Every structure is written in structure tokens, then in C-alpha cells.
Amino acid sequence: MSDLAQSTPLIHLRGGATSFVVELGAPLPHVLHWGADLGELSTAELDTIRATAVPGITHNSTDLPRLLTVLPTEADAWSGTPGIEGHLRSTGMPYPRFHLTGHTHDAQASSLTLRLHCDLGLELSLRYRLDAHGILAVDGRLHRPVLAGTPGEGDAFDLTALTFLLPLPERATEIVDFTGKWSRERSPQRHPVPFGTHLRESRRGRPSLDSPYLLMAGTDGFAFRTGEVWGMHVAWSGNQRYLVEQLPEGAGAHRSVVGGGELLLPGEVTLADGDSYDSPTLYFAWSDGGMDGVADRFHRFLRSRPHHPAKPRPLVLNTWEAVYFQHDLGPLLELVDRAASVGVERVVLDDGWFLGRRSDRTGLGDWFVDPEVWPNGLTPLVERVRSHGMEFGLWFEPEMINLSSRLAQEHPDWILAPPSGAGPSIRHQHVLDIAHEEAWKFLYERIDSLVSQYGIDYIKWDHNRELHEASSRADGGRAAVRAQTEALYRLLDALRARHPALEIESCASGGGRVDLGVLQHTDRVWASDCNDPVERQHIQRWTGQLLPPELMGTHVGAAEAHTTQRVTSLSFRLATALFGHAGIEQDLNACDDGELSTIRAWADLYKELRPLLHSGRVVRADLADEQTLLHGIAAHDGTSALFTWARLGTSAAVTSGRIPVPGLAPDRRYRIRTRTEIGRPALHEDPPGWLASADEGALTLCGHTLSTLGLPMPTLQPQQALLLQFDAI
Ligand code: DGJ
């Protein structure tokens, strides 16, 4: 630890070819650089960086040069989104002025903690950690100490927002972030960086289906493989904000800023003496390797977490699309047997097993196995699953309640709604106030006891509506999205502590709660309710912008997709579902022998390839023709890769010509093989001759040739995919 008086004026954090430079200025530190690694810097060089970080004084502006502080506010004449917003209750004073009182720099851990104090009696501990993969984690704790004799003593501070902002240079001219809807999550959208604020908020009590997800600013036309990109993710499952902001005067010597934080509702955070507010962590990543570079940093970072799933991701069968609410033991046992016969390793019983749950209108809250449909409990099903050596998973939607449930009748005060009325229902359901201690305990007891009774290995944890007017009835109607989110994390943690082997999936109307906050407490996400492979190709490639394949549920659905009614071939559906944590939603009881044997071959292929698929680097080629996709997973050591060449629709051009295959080791020679176990894709025309050689594993090319010249790819029929394996020889 060092005092301000003895501190080094500049702190330089380095990690994963990224640098982050902060000047410990007064009253507040300034961010001088976030981006490319600056290398080992001499004191003289650091001094020069500091000296050249000061811009000129412009017309009609401050009399001193503007600098971007770590917590920009009006106190330093910052006219953009303030780093902190709120006011002192007694006086209404909304202008906290912070100054640096100390810092801790751990060069080994590449971390910096700044201790800031403000005249309104608040302390902010602001933490930056730059990991070996280039992920910069930023979080803060705002604390109101019990101090006698300070201004505002005994007074409360109403916090409106705590926003962390990092600088962007002038060359970051474009933004890519995401929107979406049910069954089409994570649709990218591109904008120029505007003057003013590009602001994305979720006020839905969860990141939701239109989550901004990962806000990326980058150089002109940045793409998967090219461009410099600065990305930011809010690791939080409640309300949140993402922004890029450009003021005419810039941000110190920088052009604009990127950042965000939790979106707090009025009255959600009041800091009285002794209280603290812990912000969510914001993760920032810079790369000069395009969006693939950013994705790779996040994937490596996630894989380095101690709790990252370590055992092979078991092949899943989920009952939802096969039976929906029709829970009959006979057909379910047959489904289990068929699942075992094709190589499934985990069977998940979806919605419909608990009291009164014959449709999506009833039952939520009554987490008892329904004796009407399960007269012997779940035991006969669980025993059959176990007899095949498979794991058993069960669906829950703990945070929800139907007003007709016993729970709602007995505990109307547990409904998360204003005291005067329950508010609009969505999917015929309301929300349970899980921050209510008794409600939380009820859920814990119910889930714990079912997990213990049936030895449940896996929970699909669903959340099928947004939160509106989320008000704690027990707390006079106080806004409670933050409390709900914290209670969720506590509940997940308590269950995992009690059942250390239990795995949990985050699902929310499909992919409505996909964030690195919930993934601190869960093991994978359900990417979307849409199992149509055409839609899934998009959803998965963009969900993969943040998450590695092993954290993303990718299941094969029925030939006629339940969500779009598009009919696709089995091989295309299987090829699509291969690139994630694979599973089956299709009704195996309705499959003929031919389909079952293809699914069995796919299951074998998944098991053979999952070590590569769940550890390699995601590669997405930039192609001019939007009807074609080339993406793959390449081993970090360059030994192997698996690619998909897919066609979604027809194109104006007759052929694609040579398509470079990026991401392979340039100096290695590869044997190229087609993998046709799941069927050959239908071709629109005679294929190029090399495909026959690849069928025999007789084609070899070096990585450099592949990534520069590439291969003349066959023209596939629409909605077809070709799997190509590359093995270094
Ligand atoms: C929404 C999920 O996304 C589906 O997979 C399924 O579990 C249903 N809920 C069940 O109600």
C-alpha cells in the first residue's frame, strides 16, 4: 500500500497485450490510456505520456485543460453522464466532490484500487483488475462511514447511478451492440458513434431478450477478423445501462467514452451511516483482432475461472418440445430409453411436473410433484434415467408465481408488486418477491428438498417474464429490482453450496438472462427457444461474441421448427447444434430408425469433438455474401480445427469462389477431411474436385495458403452445412 504523497504518478497495468494507464493526479486520477500494450515503459517515457495527455485549452471552455478523471462529474466540468449521481437527503446537495486519499497497486496481480473520499461523507473504493487475457474488470464499493463531525453526519445519500467510463480514441467511429426478441435474441445493430449519447438501458428487471449484451466500439468497418475494437459488458442480471458518449469537447485528450453500470430505480439505494453499495462488475476488452479478438479474450477469461465447468459437457435431452405439458409416464419412459440408445448423457424434465401445472396458466409457486400426473412421484422416471447411467435434470421457475397458486393465496404479501394491486400479468404470471426472507426460505427449502430426494444433477432455472412495478410489499412498496437480483444470486449460491455437484442453467423466455453476473452462479445459458437452425446460426454466432460454446445450450429441434414452422434437414439441424453444449429437443419417440441412427452418429461425433469444441478459439470468417457462413473452432496450439461452411439461402452469384479459411496456424500443414457422419449436405451443383479428396482425407494444405487463398467452396443448397475438419500433420 502506498500513500498519495509517496505514490508513483503513473500506474501502468499490463495483461493480455493490453495496457491501462492511470495518472494519480489530484484531486482525482485520470485515465490516460486503455488499449494496445505500451510495453515496458521507462520513467522518462511514462513522464512523456503524462505530459502529452494534457490537451489544449479551447474557446469558451474551462480555463485549465480538461482531463478525463476516473469519476467524471461536474466538479471537473464534465458535461457528459456523471460517474456518480445522487443527492444528500437533508440539503438536496447533488454534487459530490471526490478526491484521492490513497491507492493500492499490486503489479503482480495487475490490479489497482483507488480510495476516493468526498465532501458529502462518502467513500468510494474503485478497483481495476487487468487479467492475463486482457479483460479489464472494473467495480466499486460506495460506502457511507459512521463518522462524527463530517458534513452530512447522520444524513442519507440517495444514489441514482454509479457509472464507470473509459476513454475511446477518435478512430473508434462505429458501434455494434445488440437487440432482440423472443426466439431471435442477440440481433446485432451497427451505428456511427454519434455526438451525444448512445444509451442502451434494460428496465425489464433482467438483461432480457433485447439486451445490449456487449457494447463494442471500433474502427471503421470493424468486423470479425479485422479492426480495433473496445468492448464492454455489464455483469449483472437486473436493470442496467450501456453507453457510448461523445461530447464536442471530447473527454480530455480522448474523443469519447464507453461505460455503464446498474440502472437504479428511485429509492433503491439509500446510503445511511454505515451502508455500502457494491456495483456490478463491468468487463472491458480491447483487441486489434476484430470481434473475434474480443470474443477470444472473453472466452479465455471465462475458461480461467475456478468454477468454469471442467467435466465434459454431457449430451442433453430436454423434454419440452417433445411433450410440453403432457406428462405421461409411459411415453416419457420410452423417450428416456430412446435417449439412452442414441447416447444422451443427461435427461431434463421440463415444465409441467408440479402441482396443477397442466398449462402455462397455473401452478407456479407450488413446487411439489403433482400426484395427479406423477402418482409415484418422479421416482419411476428418475430410476429409469439412472438405470441407463444418465444424469437427471429438472425445470424450475422459482422467481415466478401464478395468482391461482396455493402460494399466492397463502402469501399475497410475497408477490413483487405495489401494495395496491398485482399489476399486469405476463405469460399469465406474476413475480415472487424473493428478497422477502420467508419467500426466499420457502424456495430454498423446496428446491433443496427436491434436489436431495431425487439426486437432481441439473436445474434448468427459468424466468419467463419481465419485471414491471417491482415493488416490495413488505417494505412499503420500495422498488426492488436490485434486491431481487441480489436475492437470486444468494439463492443460487446457497443451493450450490449445499449441493456442490449441482449444475444450473440460466434460462429466461429462452435467452433473456445471458450475462456474466448470472454465470458467476450458474453453469450455462439457454441461448434461445428457437431451435430453427437458420435462426440459430445467427443467435449462436452472436451469443458466442461473449460466451464460449460450452456455456451455451444448443439443441436439435424438430424438422418443422416449433417457433418458425420452417422445415429443415436433419443434417443441417445437427451441424448447427454441434457448436455448443449440445442437446436434443426433438421428440425421439417420433423418429424413425434412420433418424435415430443419424442422431446416434451425431452424438458420437459430439463426444469425439467436444474436447476441441469446448476449448478452442472461435473463428468467424468475414464474407461478403450474407447467405453464406464460415465459422469454426480452432485449437489454440494449431493442431486441429472444425469448421462449418453453411448456406442459409440462395445468392445472386453462381459460386462463392475461393473462400479463405482463417484462424489456422500459418506454418502448419493440415489434412482436410469432410465429416459426413450426420449426412452429406445437398449440393446445388457438381462440387469442386477437392471435395472428393477431402472425403478420403487425401487433401493437404498449409495454414497460410488456407487463410490467404482458401478453397473454392461448393455451392450448397439453401439451409445446408458442410463440416470440415483440419488436422495438422
Ligand atoms: C421457456 C423456456 O425457454 C423453454 O425452453 C421452456 O422451458 C418453457 N419456458 C417452459 O415453460
State whether the beta carbon of 510 lies less than 6 angstroms from ligand 1. yes
The secondary structure of 512-544 as a DSSP string is S--STTGGGT-SEEE--S---HHHHHHHHHHHT
- Evaluated on CA atoms 49, 50, 52, 58, the torsion sign reads positive
Strands (DSSP E) contained in 613-656 are 617-620, 628-634, 640-647
How far is Cα 566 from Cα 643, in angstroms, rounded to an integer?
24
Q: Is the pLDDT of residue 5 over 50?
A: no
State whether the beta carbon of 292 lies less than 6 angstroms from ligand 1. no
State whether the beta carbon of 279 lies less than 6 angstroms from ligand 1. no
Catalytic residue among 139, 366, 529, 532: 529
Task: Encode pLDDT of 346-393 as tens digits.
Answer: 999 999 999 999 999 999 999 999 999 999 999 999 999 999 999 999
How far is Cα 381 from Cα 330, in angstroms, rounded to an integer?
9
Q: Which of 185, 526, 563 is the pocket-test mutation for ligand 1 (most atoms within 8 Å of CB)?
A: 526
Query: Which pLDDT score, from 0 to 100, does residue 119 have?
Result: 87
Give the burial string for 93-121 (b: 16+ CB within 10 Å, else e).
bbebebebebbebeeeebbbbbebbbebb
Mean pLDDT of the chain: 96
- In the chain, the domains with their CATH numbers are 2-301 (2.70.98.60), 316-398+435-464+479-613 (3.20.20.70), 618-728 (2.60.40.1180)
The secondary structure of 393-421 as a DSSP string is EEEE-TTEE-TTSHHHHH-GGGBSS-TT-
H or E element, residue 493? helix 481-498
* Least confident piece of the model among 52-66, 311-325, 703-717: 52-66
Task: Compare 9 and 416 and report the one with higher pLDDT.
Answer: 416
Q: Is the pLDDT of residue 1 over 50?
A: no
Counting residues of the chain whose pLDDT is more than 90, the rounded percentage is 95
Residue 245, classed as helix, strand or coil, is strand
State whether the beta carbon of 351 lies less than 6 angstroms from ligand 1. yes
What does the DSSP 8-state code read for residue 698?
-
How far is Cα 548 from Cα 227, in angstroms, rounded to an integer?
21
Give catalytic status of residue 529 as yes or no.
yes
Residue 621 in grid coordinates: 470468417
Global pTM value: 0.98
State whether the beta carbon of 585 lies less than 6 angstroms from ligand 1. no
CA–chain centroid gap for 476, Å, is 34
- Region 229-257 average pLDDT: 98
Closest atom, ligand 1, to C-alpha of 510: 3
Give residue 609 CA to ligand 1 midpoint distance, Å: 28
Query: Which pLDDT score, from 0 to 100, does residue 224 have?
Result: 98
How far is Cα 440 from Cα 444, in angstroms, rounded to an integer?
6
Cβ neighbours of residue 269 under 8 Å, at least 6 residues apart? 158, 159, 277, 482
Strands 628-634 and 617-620: antiparallel
- Evaluated on CA atoms 259, 293, 208, 363, the torsion sign reads negative
Give the burial string for 134-152 (b: 16+ CB within 10 Å, else e).
bbbbbbbebbbeeeeebeb
Q: Is the pLDDT of residue 512 over 60?
A: yes
Nearest CA to ligand 1 atom 6: 320
Give residue 528 CA to ligand 1 midpoint distance, Å: 9
H or E element, residue 551? none
Query: Which pLDDT score, from 0 to 100, does residue 43 have?
Result: 87
- Region 512-521 average pLDDT: 98
Nearest CA to ligand 1 atom 10: 351
Task: Encode pLDDT of 649-701 as tens digits.
Answer: 999 999 999 999 999 999 999 999 999 999 999 999 999 999 999 999 999 99
Query: Which pLDDT score, from 0 to 100, does residue 8 have?
Result: 55
Catalytic residue among 296, 370, 462, 515: 462
State whether the beta carbon of 462 lies less than 6 angstroms from ligand 1. yes
Identity of the residue numbered 77: A
Query: Which pLDDT score, from 0 to 100, does residue 4 have?
Result: 38
69 Ramachandran zone, left/alpha/beta (phi>0; psi -120 to 50): beta
Identity of the residue numbered 633: I
Q: Is the pLDDT of residue 586 over 80?
A: yes
CA–chain centroid gap for 257, Å, is 22
Task: Encode pLDDT of 406-444 as tens digits.
Answer: 999 999 999 999 988 898 999 999 999 999 999 999 999
Give catalytic status of residue 462 as yes or no.
yes
Task: Encode pLDDT of 11-68 as tens digits.
Answer: 999 999 999 999 999 999 999 999 999 999 998 898 899 889 999 999 999 999 999 9
Residue 66 near residue 252, CB atoms below 8 Å? yes
Residue 189 near residue 178, CB atoms below 8 Å? yes
Quickly state the pLDDT bin for 155 (edges 50, 70, 90).
confident
State whether the beta carbon of 531 lies less than 6 angstroms from ligand 1. no
- Region 486-510 average pLDDT: 98
Q: Which of 507, 514, 530, 555 is the pocket-test mutation for ligand 1 (most atoms within 8 Å of CB)?
A: 507
State whether the beta carbon of 370 lies less than 6 angstroms from ligand 1. no
Q: Which residues pair with 244 in a beta bridge?
A: 198, 258
Closest atom, ligand 1, to C-alpha of 460: 7
Query: Which pLDDT score, from 0 to 100, does residue 149 have?
Result: 61
Residue 167 near residue 294, CB atoms below 8 Å? no
How far is Cα 426 from Cα 512, in angstroms, rounded to an integer?
14
Nearest CA to ligand 1 atom 1: 509
Query: Which pLDDT score, from 0 to 100, does residue 7 have?
Result: 43
Q: Is the pLDDT of residue 228 over 80?
A: yes
Q: Which of 184, 464, 552 is the pocket-test mutation for ligand 1 (most atoms within 8 Å of CB)?
A: 464
Query: Which pLDDT score, from 0 to 100, does residue 9 have?
Result: 82
Closest CA to 655 of 606, 697, 715, 729: 715
Residue appearing with cell numbers 437470486:
488
Quickly state the pLDDT bin for 146 (edges 50, 70, 90).
confident
Nearest CA to ligand 1 atom 9: 509
Give residue 234 CA to ligand 1 midpoint distance, Å: 25
Q: Is the pLDDT of residue 300 over 90?
A: yes
Q: Is the pLDDT of residue 153 over 90?
A: no
Identity of the residue numbered 182: W
- Region 498-516 average pLDDT: 98
Residue 495 in grid coordinates: 443451493
